[in-house]
Amino acid sequence: MNEFSHIPVLLNEVLKEFRDSKGTIIDATLGLGGHSFALLEENKDINIIGIDKDIEAITLAKERLKKNSDRLEVVHSNFSNGIKEILSKNNNITGILADIGISSYQVDNLSRGFSFYSDNLDMRMDLDSHITAKMIINSYSKDELHRIFTEYGEIKNPIPVTKMILDYRKNHTINTAKELSQLIESNSKISSRIHPATLVFQALRIEVNDELGELKRFLKNIENIKNVKVAIISFHSLEDRIVKERFRAWAKSCICSDDTIKCICGNNYKKGDILSKKPIIPSQNEIRLNKRSRSAKMRCFRFYE
């Protein structure tokens, strides 16, 4: 597999959303440039500013997009800060796309430590950041592990897996993703379609990259833009819930608290419209061609002028 065989999810649906756009679109998760490549090829009226915190992804994306480099600017940053900076300098932004989570490149590249079979236990999207999965799994207290396994892994009963890790840690350092996934697998009593370490790995990845915090700050930093279409693709319910709730809040005219009997806010706070009443999901055909797309959900919002 070469790095460009990464298939962008919901590609036709993304192209459709931005088909009539003009001006500048921000691709907040440039990744390997799959969506940006197709957008630039299809719509000659747009420029793209791409953000990614993964410097390796940026190098590959620039190579892929070099044909259209005159219509591309790339920013190496996390998207919450990156978007703030870009919005403060540009007044011609007409669209924002975010395809959040990790790329196939990050999962398939064993040195990055996202895979169950990796000899590394890293999971950083931003290679300049200082927190790795290895640090977390070997140093977090019982309560901290409980918290991330419950909140980010959505593990109903995190006690057994936490205890197993703490017991193992008495005599060993957990050095690799392979060692951690095998430890969990060998102690797992439940047979399931998914790897028994999936939720622990999800929790670690979210904690290492502060994924939910980043998404919340990103949404906060775009909430006062005007005349911009936003499309956000997420891959698990924790992210999708954050996006859904923010879009609902932006579409509400009255911001009085639920227990207010008569509106006192002025009833004039609606920022725009939710364009996707239900999330846009991949077709059966897309899922057949790209299994990783199966949990993708895209939600769209249009901010008023």
Ligand X SMILES: C[S@@+](CC[C@H](N)C(=O)[O-])C[C@H]1O[C@@H](n2cnc3c(N)ncnc32)[C@H](O)[C@@H]1O
Question: What residues contact residue 297 under an 8 Å CB cut-off, 6+ apart?
Answer: 233, 234, 235, 240, 279, 280, 281
Name the residue nearer to ligand X (CB basis): 130 or 170: 130
| DSSP strands (E only) in 54-92 | 72-76
Report the DSSP pairing between strands 297-303 and 229-234. Answer: antiparallel
User: What minimum distance in Å lies between the beta carbon of 115 and ligand X?
Assistant: 15
Tokens read off for 50:
């791409």
User: What minimum distance in Å lies between the beta carbon of 128 and ligand X?
Assistant: 12
Name the residue nearer to ligand X (CB basis): 13 or 54: 54
User: What minimum distance in Å lies between the beta carbon of 207 and ligand X?
Assistant: 13
- C-alpha 13/C-alpha 4 separation (Å) is 20
Residue with tokens 């775009």: 222
Name the residue nearer to ligand X (CB basis): 235 or 303: 235
- Footprint of ligand X on this chain (CB under 6 A)? 6, 8, 29, 31-35, 51-54, 57, 78-79, 99-103, 125, 214
Name the residue nearer to ligand X (CB basis): 79 or 303: 79
Name the residue nearer to ligand X (CB basis): 132 or 175: 132
User: What minimum distance in Å lies between the beta carbon of 131 and ligand X?
Assistant: 14
- C-alpha 76/C-alpha 84 separation (Å) is 13
Nearest to 164 by CA among 184, 144, 181: 184
Question: What residues contact residue 281 under an 8 Å CB cut-off, 6+ apart?
Answer: 10, 296, 297, 298
Contact 3, 105 (CB under 8 A): yes
| DSSP strands (E only) in the chain | 23-27, 46-52, 72-76, 93-99, 229-234, 272-274, 297-303
Nearest to 205 by CA among 304, 118, 77: 118
Name the residue nearer to ligand X (CB basis): 29 or 94: 29
User: What minimum distance in Å lies between the beta carbon of 172 and ligand X?
Assistant: 30
User: What minimum distance in Å lies between the beta carbon of 245 and ligand X?
Assistant: 19
Name the residue nearer to ligand X (CB basis): 8 or 153: 8
Name the residue nearer to ligand X (CB basis): 60 or 180: 60
User: What minimum distance in Å lies between the beta carbon of 230 and ligand X?
Assistant: 15
User: What minimum distance in Å lies between the beta carbon of 52 and ligand X?
Assistant: 5
Contact 14, 34 (CB under 8 A): no
